[in-house]
Every structure is written in C-alpha cells, then in structure tokens.
Amino acid sequence: MRLRARQGEALTGRFVVPGDKSQSHRALILGALATGETVIAGLLESEDVLATAAALRAFGARVERFGPGRWRVIGGPWRSPDASIDCGNSGTSVRLLMGAAAGQGVRATFTGDASLSKRPMRRVRGPLEAMGARFEGGDTLPLTVAGPVTRGIAHVNVPASAQVKSAVLLAGLGTDQPVEVSEPVPSRDHSEIMLAEFGVAVERSGGTVRLGSQRSLSGRLVSVAGDPSSAAFALGAAAIVPGSEVRVENMLLNPHRSGFVMALQRMGADLAMSNIRGQSGETIGDVRVRFGPLFGAEFTPEEIPSMVDEIPILAVVAAGARGETRIEGLDELRHKESDRLSLMAEGLAACGVAARSEGDALVIDGGPIRGGAEVRTEGDHRIAMSHLVLGLAAEQPVTVDEADMIATSFPTFREAMRGIGARIEEVAQ
Ligand code: S3P
C-alpha cells in the first residue's frame, strides 16, 4: 500500500498512542518465564509483539487476549518447539527470545523476514556462547539455539544495545553464576526495571548491572505506558506544522527513552510535561507540544541510544527548523530494519531538503520543505511514518512507496494521525 501525506489544517488535540513496544515484548516474555499468572494492560498489539506472543505459545506458555490490549500469560517450564520460530520483522523478539531460550535450555530455530535475515546476530550469539550456550548456523538468521547456558558472564555492551543486554540478563536466569553487563553509554533499562517488578533484583552501580542471586520470577500485573517512539511522530509533526498543538497522555518518560523530547526542547520547541508519576516501575506522564520557531542543533554519539528509534523523525523535525542540525554517531542506524542513515538522507533530499550523510553523521540544513516526491522505504516502518510527517509540513504532498510495514510497530498510525487532523490517504498503485 502507498500512502500520501499533504499539508492541511493545523494539528490539534489528543494523540492516541499505543502501548510501548519494548515494555510489551518484555511483559509477555517475563510472564512466560514466571510462575503463576501475569496480567498485562495496554499491550501493543502490533505485528512485532504478536510475533513474540506466538513464539511464547510455541515455548509452552499460555498466552491469551481477553480484551483490547488486555492479555493474560501463564508461565511454566519451557519446551523445545517442533517448528521454527518466525520472528517476522522483529529484532527485539528474536534477540530477547534467543537469550531466554538459551537460559531455559530449550532447542529452537529462529527465522525472520528478508530485513531481519540481514541483521547482525553475532552480537547476541557471541555473549550467549561465552555463557556456554551452543548455536548452529552463522551470524544471521536462520539460527538455532542448540545447547543451554552453563556459566555466568561479565559482558561489555558496546555498541550500546538494550537487546543484547536483555538477552544476556534473560539467559542469566538459567544459571546461578554471576551475570553482569557494563555499559559505557547506557541503553534503555526496561528489562532491569521489569525483572525487579517480577521479583528478580538487578543491582546497578556506575555503568554496570548485575543479576541478583534470586532468579525465579513471579507473575504480576503490568501496565504498559504509551510508546514514546510512536508518540514522536505526532509530537514532531506538531512542532513543524504551523498552528499545531498536540498532547499525548500516559507516555513513557524513562530517561533512556526521552532523547527525542530533550532534542525538541534543545531546538526551541514549545513543549511541556505534566502529571508525571510512576507506573509498573517506570516514569510516565503527559507531553504537550505547540508549533513555534525551531533552530538547528548538534547531537553527540552519547545521546543517540536515548533516541535511537527517533532519529528518522528527528531528521524530519530538523528539516523544518532554521539552520543546520548535525546528528553524530549513527553507525547503529545502518543495522536497523533498513539502513536508516542512507534512506533518510535519500528521502529528505528527494523532497528538496539539504540533507546528507557524512560518515556516520546526518547533516540537515533546515528551511521551507518542497516535498513533491515518492520516497523509498525498503519496508521500514519508521522511514515510512517519518516521511509522511514530512509531507504534512511540505509545500507539495509526499508519498511513501510501501506503508504496510507500519503495522509492525503502530497499526493504528493513520487513525491516530487523522484524529489530530492529519491528511494521509491511500494512493492507487
Ligand atoms: C529495543 C532496543 C533498540 C531499539 C529497538 C527496541 C528494545 O535496539 O532500536 O527498536 O526493546 O530493547 P538496540 O538495543 O539493538 O539498539
């Protein structure tokens, strides 16, 4: 499906954002590892998360939906599935589940779609092998976890990857040996927070996290907050579409996920946070953005992990700002669902924005946005959503060549954007 976005009225009102993808995967996986019942409210029902739910059923857990976003998981001993586990487009599913499977000592073959089959798995396989796990296959999918974790590890997490850290911590549940992960630059810490909620303490000192010695989990209630990576499309759109004012309620405000909100503030956006509170161990709150003048800014490599999935929409915001924005340290973007560094430079340039990649930096000279192009997404959901937002602020409409993959993370994107007044339509092939 091709989608086209065009400039219209100002964007206003409450943006209905679905549950956080990272929290959703983890709630299902920890529920399947726990004894007793886990009830989840606000689960993101996207293709990626549903791939995790299906995988957990194959590993023997009872995973049931009993209402919109409301799920029940009954954990228990894991079994080796008969068929291979298809993780679709989802890097989080495959990397976290490999760690969990190695920890539970089950044998499982993991597969994925064309994009996931190109992404690096050595980064997970390496530390799990250092913990004694055995693998069959290479550095990409398909890959088989063939033998259990037998020892602990002191892993140094470079480049900062929450998926790798989480795989090591989940694998570590299968040993009583010391398991620690050190991070020179911190990655998102939802696994640590949620493990503690399920009864497994994770000590933190400096940049090191260490699994506590009590490693069995008990089922519990998890409330999933609004996904800041999905909210970023509306907040970013409000910042660059004249006259807009948009608010998002109950959004995850974990500092390791708040880089985009901080970036908007640094660029001069009129942004306010309110109603800040705790929920399921996380910090959440409401965020409001009003249109106003924005200015280019510089972002350093250390800032990237806190907004790693928001770089495409940050680049769009930079296109609507006055002056130059430099975003440094984007090598990891080449290993996401697509080479996001190249595709953003290409898509923005096609829409008349002065944008280029310089090594692993993205440099954008903002100003009026011409638009009027069809952009190549290579099936990457965030490339598609970012360019649609660009179209809302451009002089001429912007079309994305393939938008079905938006369902991997944000199946209700179009309705949610239309709800604040965005003009996004399907275009005949
Ligand atoms: C995620 C971690 C990030 C992010 C991904 C979700 C997670 O990947 O890009 O969308 O839930 O742990 P890396 O940890 O590999 O950077």
State whether 151 and 300 are in the same domain: no
- Is the C-beta atom of 187 inside 6 A of ligand 1? yes
Q: Find out whether the beta carbon of 280 lies less than 6 Å from any atom of ligand 1.
A: no
Query: Which residue is closest in CA terms to ligand 1's atom 9?
Result: 309
Task: Kindly state if the Cβ of 308 falls inside 6 Å of ligand 1.
Answer: yes
From 20, 21, 22, 252, the mutation candidate for ligand 1 (largest count of ligand atoms within 8 A of CB) is: 22
409 lines ligand 1 (CB under 6 A): no
> CA 305, CA 300: separation in Å to the nearest integer?
10
Q: Based on the fold, state whether residues 207 and 255 are members of the same structural domain.
A: no
What is 139-150 written as a DSSP string?
SSSSEEEEE---
β-bridge partners, 145: 108, 135
Domain boundary among 223, 251, 266: 223
Which residue, chain included where needed, has tokens 């399920």? Answer: 198
The residues, any chain, with a CB within 8 Å of residue 12's CB and separated by 6 or more, are: 244, 245, 246, 420, 421
Listed in sequence order, the residues at least 6 apart from 355 whose beta carbon sits closer than 8 Å to its beta carbon are: 315, 319, 344, 345, 348, 349, 362, 363, 364, 365
- Domain end, chosen from 173, 199, 223, is at 223
Spacing, Cα 145 to ligand 1 middle (Å): 21
Nearest atom within ligand 1 for CA of residue 25: 11
Q: Are residues 201 and 236 in the same domain?
A: no
Q: Report which of 66, 67, 147, 140 is spatially closest to residue 105, judged by C-alpha positions.
A: 147
Say which residue the tokens 């638009």 belong to: 371
Q: What is the pLDDT of residue 158?
A: 97
Ligand 1 pocket member 408 (CB < 6 A): no
Strand order in the sheet with 143-147: 85-86, 108-111, 143-147, 134-137
Q: Are residues 409 and 280 located together in one domain of the fold?
A: yes
Closest atom of ligand 1 relative to the 22 alpha carbon:
11
Q: What is the CATH number of the domain that holds 246?
A: 3.65.10.10
Inter-residue contact 238 to 244 (CB < 8 Å) = yes
Query: 217 with 231, same domain?
Result: no
Query: Exposed/middle/buried for 305, CB within 10 Å: 0-12, 13-18, 19+?
Result: buried
- Is-contact 112 87, C-beta < 8 A? yes
- The SS3 of residue 266 is helix
Please give the number of the atom of ligand 1 that sits closest to the Cα of 229. Answer: 10
| C-alpha of residue 103 to centroid of ligand 1, in Å | 20
Is there a single domain that holds both residue 272 and residue 330?
yes
Q: Which residues are annotated as a binding site?
A: 21-22, 26, 91, 119, 161, 163, 309, 336, 340, 382
What are the distances in angstroms from CA 101 to CA 39, 110, 134, 135? Answer: 22, 11, 11, 11
Q: Given this model, what pLDDT does residue 429 score?
A: 73
Clarify whether residues 135 and 199 are in a common domain.
yes
Calculate how far, in angstroms, residue 244's C-alpha sits from the geometric centre of ligand 1.
Answer: 30
Q: Whole domain around residue 292: which residue ranges?
A: 2-19+225-427
Q: In terms of domains, do 213 and 240 share one? A: no
Same domain, 205 and 241: no
Cα(277)–Cα(250) distance, integer angstroms = 9
- The Å distance, Cα 351 to ligand 1 centre, comes to 29
Asked whether 332 and 304 are in contact (CB, 8 A), the reply is yes
One domain for residues 256 and 188: no
In this structure, the answer to whether residues 32 and 6 fall within a common structural domain is no
Q: Residue-wise pLDDT tens for the chain (429 aa)?
A: 999 999 999 999 999 999 999 999 999 999 999 999 999 999 999 999 999 999 999 999 999 999 999 999 999 999 999 999 999 999 999 999 999 999 999 999 999 999 999 999 999 999 999 999 999 999 999 999 999 999 999 999 999 999 999 999 999 999 999 999 999 999 999 999 999 999 999 999 999 999 999 999 999 999 999 999 999 999 999 999 999 999 999 999 999 999 999 999 999 999 999 999 999 999 999 999 999 999 999 999 999 999 999 999 999 999 999 999 999 999 999 999 999 999 999 999 999 999 999 999 999 999 999 999 999 999 999 999 999 999 999 999 999 999 999 999 999 999 999 999 999 999 997
Ligand 1, residue 305: give the atom nearest the CA: 16
Distance 90 CA to ligand 1 centre (A): 10
The structural domain count of the chain equals 2
- Give residue 139's pLDDT: 96
Q: Which residues are catalytic?
A: 309
Which residue among 177, 202, 223 closes a domain? 223
Q: Are 287 and 162 within one domain?
A: no
Dist CA 151 CA 254 (whole Å): 31
